[in-house]
Amino acid sequence: MGDNPEMVLKNRLHLSWVLGISPGSFTTVQQVHDHNVKIITEELKGSGAVNYDTAISETDAMVTGVPDVCLMVLQADCVPVLLFDPQKRVIGAAHTGWKGTIRLVTQKVVSEMQEKFGCLSQDIVVGIGPSIGPCCFEIGPEVIAQAKSIFREKRGFISKETPDGKGYFNLWEANKMQLTQMGIPVGNIEVAGVCTYCSHHLFFSARRQGRKTGRFGAGIMLKNL
């Protein structure tokens, strides 16, 4: 939000040229930090590709089996999660910050892949991309209480708690746990382990640079066989 539309379009045209895909392949959503998942059909291909207003509204995750659709989520500290089932040829992408993590959006993506496309947990491979890490993501007692109520325990997710109730939230482990709970083998999950706050020279970080900073994209696409 707040970016120069002409610069956004220029960047996406350059990205499409580098990747060798059509700019109309990019499919994006208007992210709201919730757990809504949209199944992307051929008709929805290109939503938000060149204009934010045409992006799919109130959605933070997508799933598709349509080739040449690049599911792209945008973030500046939140966690990008990309999923692929090579057997059913189905992909998914999720944008998940602390709200999406607590609302189990990653788990819901897996459920949609299973229920709508017949994917098996053991076939799904997942990449958890760069985001703010457990080294830097300080949260207050309200968020800690919500996390504990969802994940039942704080071990592995909340660390460095202080007397005033603050602590650090490990979004990577929380999302990884959601995946393993859905039956995805640990060996099928790759965590980048790169903190955007620490690596603000490489990635946008809203916490470090302010909410009006840019966003970096994470995408996944099925190529035609």
State how far the alpha carbon of 109 is from the alpha carbons of 51, 92, 141, in Å.
Answer: 25, 7, 28
The dihedral over CA atoms of 66, 70, 71, 75, expressed in degrees to the nearest 10, equals: 180
CA dist., res. 166 & res. 64, Å (int): 39
Residues ≥6 apart with Cβ < 8 Å to 141: 164, 165, 166
Instruction: Give the pLDDT confidence score for residue 94 in this predicted structure.
Output: 98
Instruction: Give the pLDDT confidence score for residue 166 in this predicted structure.
Output: 95
Q: What CATH number is given to the structural domain containing 123?
A: 3.60.140.10
Encode pLDDT of 61-98 as tens digits.
Answer: 999 999 999 999 999 999 999 999 999 999 999 999 99
The tally of domains found in the chain comes to 1
Encode pLDDT of 156-187 as tens digits.
Answer: 789 998 999 999 999 999 999 999 999 999 99
* 222 within 8 A of 45, measured Cβ to Cβ: no
Instruction: Give the pLDDT confidence score for residue 2 in this predicted structure.
Output: 60
Which range marks the domain in which residue 131 is found?
A: 5-221
Instruction: Give the pLDDT confidence score for residue 153 in this predicted structure.
Output: 62
Encode pLDDT of 24-63 as tens digits.
Answer: 999 999 999 999 999 999 999 999 998 889 999 999 999 9
The residues that bridge with 62 in the sheet, in sequence order, are: 38, 93
* 11 within 8 A of 30, measured Cβ to Cβ: no
Instruction: Give the pLDDT confidence score for residue 155 in this predicted structure.
Output: 65
**84-88, 152-156, 189-193: segment of lowest average pLDDT:** 152-156
Distance, CA of 221 to chain centre: 14
* 204 within 8 A of 216, measured Cβ to Cβ: yes
